[in-house]
Amino acid sequence: MPTHADYTIGWICALTIEMTAAVAMLDEEHPPIKQHERDTNSYTLGRIGEHNVVITCLAAGKTGTHTAAIVGTHLTRSFPRLRFVLMVGIGGGCPSDKKDIRLGDIIVSKPGPKNGGVVQYDFGRTVEGGRFVPTGSLNRPPTLLLTALAKLQSKTELEDFWYVRYLSNIPRPLVEAKFGYPGAEKDLLFEPKYGHIEGDGCRNCDRGKLKIREDRDSHYPHLFSGTVICGNQFMMDGETRDRIASKFGGLCFEMEGAGLMDDFPCLLIRGVSDYADTHKEKRWRKYAALAAAAFTTELLSVISAEGVTAMPPGTSDSASNVPLSPAPSSPQNSFLCFSKEFLQLSSISLGRLVIDTRQPWEDYCAVTPIPTQNEIGILLEPHYKTSLRLQESRSFTRNLFNIFSL
């Protein structure tokens, strides 16, 4: 029976339908094994081709980057030998004149000239005039995954829809029946300015407001790769969708990826379940989840087990480190950040902010008013510096200052 160290790939889903589709891709399912005492995730273990995979899902009703980060931390706590994580599920597509994205298509995060493949559009600062400026950038996926993606894109040029065999060869007929293709006639893209009319689906919406698109020769999913846009709120407005997508060159919206990209070697794979507008409905969600899971299985099929195990556990070969510099002198009421690993409890004064660098979201500051960025001081002792460098991530500092910015 495989041990914790034998599992090299993590597969994270946000919804139960996404996890159902993921489990349907397993060639064999393994019995559960003991997990870390502080790990609250629930897992399905199994094998896909040459790879032992750990599948988990966010808690019911919980979404967003924060929740995804916690799940990722628990995952690597119980399975410390994971080489990378795949965030697989559904997303809201951003169709344009250049990208004919349809419901059921597949979007994969791919680095561009200005980003690592995922941008968080709602992380930044508001400047003079009320203008919002996004800040920071997220890490790139590991080269191994990008190379595999390039191979599959090349394959698409020679053989259309090669990954659909997983859609028609699922070992569970019941799953296949429930996750079937809804039909091209139910793929409705309305003009961005036209809002949804209340009723069953879009029965009451004006069909004259539909965008005219040519019929496709096949209903099989098309593959797109590029920038995935992440945020902590649902995108449900066509005009806002197009404005933000145009700004970042985005192909789809989702809500979890940015919580993983800086702390885990990660690739995002999304099946388009809606158009991120007011006409959002659930009809396409299961099929889109299945399409994303099918593509993920194909992606793993072109990656060798030897290539995966050769990667260092839990690190990204393309991650960028932020140079650490000494903290400026702090006023008397500054807040000092320590690591619980070397700070004795007896030395902590009331009002101090104590941060566990491995999971800063589990700590809090029980004082008021909330301090500003200028009132936060960081004690960069040697042990603390080492702890930050080991994470190979900017997310700790980025998230810390975001929490305390006013």
Q: Are residues 100 and 138 in the same domain?
A: yes
* Confidence check: pLDDT of 41 > 70: yes
Average pLDDT rounded to a whole number, residues 127-150 = 77
Please indicate, yes or no, if residue 314 is contained in any of the structural domains.
no
Q: Are residues 264 and 302 in the same domain?
A: yes
- Determine the Cα–Cα distance for residues 161 and 218; give it in Å rounded to an integer: 9
Please indicate, yes or no, if residue 206 is contained in any of the structural domains.
yes
Neighbouring residues of 158: CB distance < 8 A, sequence distance ≥ 6:
none
Q: Please state, for a pLDDT cut of 90, what percent of the chain lies above it.
A: 53
Question: For residue 117, what pLDDT band results from cuts at 50, 70 and 90?
Answer: very high
Read off the CATH number of the domain in which 129 is found.
3.40.50.1580
Residue 113 pLDDT: 85
Residue 128 pLDDT: 63
Please indicate, yes or no, if residue 186 is contained in any of the structural domains.
yes
Q: Are residues 340 and 265 in the same domain?
A: no
Q: Are residues 202 and 54 in the same domain?
A: yes
Neighbouring residues of 58: CB distance < 8 A, sequence distance ≥ 6:
12, 13, 14, 15, 67, 68, 71, 256
* Confidence check: pLDDT of 235 > 50: yes
Q: Is 123 left (phi over 0), alpha (psi -120 to 50) or beta?
A: beta
* Confidence check: pLDDT of 78 > 60: yes
Please indicate, yes or no, if residue 63 is contained in any of the structural domains.
yes
Q: Is the pLDDT higher at 240 or at 405?
A: 240
Summary mean pLDDT of the chain:
78
pTM of the complete model: 0.76
Residue 95 pLDDT: 97
* Confidence check: pLDDT of 90 > 80: yes
For 290-347, what is each residue's pLDDT tens digit?
Answer: 999 999 999 999 999 999 999 988 644 433 332 223 333 333 333 344 333 444 445 4
Residue 104 pLDDT: 94
Q: Which of 311, 395, 390 is nearest to 142 (CA)?
A: 311
For 370-394, what is each residue's pLDDT tens digit?
Answer: 444 444 444 333 344 444 444 444 5
> Contact at 8 Å (CB) between 230 and 256?
yes
Please indicate, yes or no, if residue 328 is contained in any of the structural domains.
no
Q: Are residues 250 and 346 in the same domain?
A: no
Q: How many domains does the chain have?
A: 2
Give residue 142's identity as a one-letter amino acid code.
P
Residue 392 pLDDT: 42
Residue 135 pLDDT: 59
Q: Are residues 264 and 210 in the same domain?
A: yes
Q: Are residues 179 and 110 in the same domain?
A: yes
Residue 369 pLDDT: 44
Domain end, chosen from 254, 275, 309, is at: 309
For 6-27, what is each residue's pLDDT tens digit?
Answer: 999 999 999 999 999 999 899 9
Question: For residue 220, what pLDDT band results from cuts at 50, 70 and 90?
Answer: confident
- Determine the Cα–Cα distance for residues 21 and 19; give it in Å rounded to an integer: 5
Question: For residue 157, what pLDDT band results from cuts at 50, 70 and 90?
Answer: low
> Contact at 8 Å (CB) between 98 and 246?
no
Please indicate, yes or no, if residue 250 is contained in any of the structural domains.
yes
Domain end, chosen from 309, 325, 350, is at: 309
Domain end, chosen from 309, 327, 346, is at: 309
Residue 361 pLDDT: 43
What does the DSSP assignment read for 295-334?
A: HHHHHHHTS-HHHHHTSPTT--TT--PPPP-PPPP--TT-
Please indicate, yes or no, if residue 321 is contained in any of the structural domains.
no
Q: Are residues 339 and 298 in the same domain?
A: no
Q: Are residues 382 and 276 in the same domain?
A: no
Q: Are residues 343 and 219 in the same domain?
A: no
Q: Are residues 271 and 353 in the same domain?
A: no
Residue 370 pLDDT: 43
Domain of residue 49, residue span: 4-309
Q: Are residues 286 and 362 in the same domain?
A: no
For 99-109, what is each residue's pLDDT tens digit?
Answer: 999 999 999 99
> Contact at 8 Å (CB) between 90 and 107?
no
